[in-house]
Amino acid sequence: MGMDTQGVTAILRCGGHQLALDRPRIMGILNITPDSFSDGGSYHRVEQALAHARAMVEQGADLIDIGGESTRPGAQPVALEEERRRVLPVIEALSTELDVPLSVDTMKPELMREAVAAGATLLNDVNGFRAEGAWEAAVAAAREKGVALCAMHMQGEPQSMQQAPHYEDVAREVGEFLRDRREALVRAGVPGEQLLLDPGFGFGKTLEHNLALFHALPVLADLGSPLLVGVSRKSMIGALLGDRPVQERDAGSAIAALLAAQAGARVLRVHDVAGTRDALALYFALTPQAWRGSRQP
């Protein structure tokens, strides 16, 4: 299958930025959690985050996703005040310096509003804007500030979601959830070109569920909004490579990102930007039919 747009909106508008989605875009992950940086105090932490974000943009990141709360299985929730302290100074500093859309990865409505005021132009909510007040905050930001929204599917909550995930038909149920979210957001007045959908790999899903979803990507990519896929360093990659530890999953992650793009994903959320960029570049260079409807990265 080529990487043509399958009838999907070919533009993503994030505030003042417009991203053409005629080729897959790379979203670099910037985690601002205590274990992501050597801790030399808050000034030091902001400096390290800025350096990492700059490096990812130099390597080819088209967007940066900034998160202050880990949503790894079993992770404990972070208080609003702490999440604020982690992400807002970084968003403020990056928005004056970098010319790429900044996404904030949060489930909290207060932080959504404050992050947008600080310069974020994409709200990425792994909870699909279901927390109290999140829907209103996201819709208002989208309508009034032109901010883009990424609605992801998750079953359960990060603390317990991997205990007993259950579906009759995971691809159908996730597809229905995403379609409903999309329709409701459009009905609430959010323009289609400000929307991304995400099946939420690893969020209340067993390996079998993740595989079924991956196989269904061409169908999910056809729901009417561009698809974001995040499989980078996740346990499914580790499991498929024989219990590979997290620090050795980058090659597998780049290949999985490429396969997701081939199946229709338009935004790839990754840790290893350079590796993903290279995988895409080789795909475009070496696969003649990839040129149909797409430009070289």
> Which residues here bind ligand HH2, judged by CB under 6 A?
29, 31, 67, 70-72, 105, 124, 126, 150, 152, 198, 200-201, 228, 230, 269
Cα(266)–Cα(271) distance, integer angstroms: 16
Tokens of 195: 């929307």
Q: Which residues of 199-228 are buried (b: 16+ CB within 10 A; e: fewer)?
A: bbbbbbbbeebbbbbbebbeebbebbbbbb
* Positions of E strands within 113-188: 122-125, 148-152
> CB 72 → ligand HH2: shortest distance, Å?
4
Q: Which is nearer to ligand HH2, 126 or 217 (CB)?
A: 126
> CB 234 → ligand HH2: shortest distance, Å?
7
Residues annotated as part of the active site: 234, 269
Cβ count within 10 A of residue 186: 15
CA geometry: angle at 43 spanning 122 and 270, to 5°?
A: 35
> CB 282 → ligand HH2: shortest distance, Å?
24
Q: Which is nearer to ligand HH2, 3 or 30 (CB)?
A: 30
Q: Which is nearer to ligand HH2, 235 or 294 (CB)?
A: 235
Tokens of 280: 């895409």
Residue nearest to ligand HH2 (CB): 230
> CB 236 → ligand HH2: shortest distance, Å?
11
Q: Reduced to 3 states, what is the DSSP secondary structure of residue 91?
A: helix
* DSSP conformational letter for 60: T
Q: Which is nearer to ligand HH2, 198 or 290 (CB)?
A: 198
Q: Reduced to 3 states, what is the DSSP secondary structure of residue 203?
A: coil
Q: Which is nearer to ligand HH2, 14 or 290 (CB)?
A: 14
Comparing CA positions, the residue from 53, 121, 49 lying closest to residue 89 is 49
> CB 65 → ligand HH2: shortest distance, Å?
7
